[in-house]
Amino acid sequence: MTGLGFTVDPTGRWLVWAAAGMLYAIAAMDIFLRPRLRADAAGVTVRSLSGQRTFPWLALEARLRRIQRFGRSVTTLELDHDDTLIIFGRRELGADPEEVLRQLSDLRPASR
């Protein structure tokens, strides 16, 4: 897209370069924020631009939500902790949300 910016008129050039800059920013976030979700015996750690937060298993509820979007079914993983709701899609997780929920269920201590 950056190269395409040189082939359009001056107004279009700025629009194309702005779109290219946004794509670079999204790619940088994907590179630097991986992994977004990490789980161990203590709980689940979520990374974001503002830092990382760890949620203990006892107060964490994980569930799947399926919605229709643009004519197809989209599955997301929802993590609910008190007043915090975090939603992950396939792109953020890098895997199928159903498989991630199964793995989280396996890691969760049996005392719950």
Q: What is the pTM of this model?
A: 0.76
Which residue is associated with the tokens 């007043």?
83
Cα separation, 98 vs 91, in Å, equals 13
Is residue 34 within 8 Å of residue 27, measured between CB atoms?
no
Model confidence pLDDT, tens digit, residues 50-109: 899 999 999 899 999 999 988 999 999 999 998 999 999 998 898 999 999 999 999 998
Model confidence pLDDT, tens digit, residues 14-60: 888 899 899 999 999 888 888 889 999 889 999 988 899 999 999 89
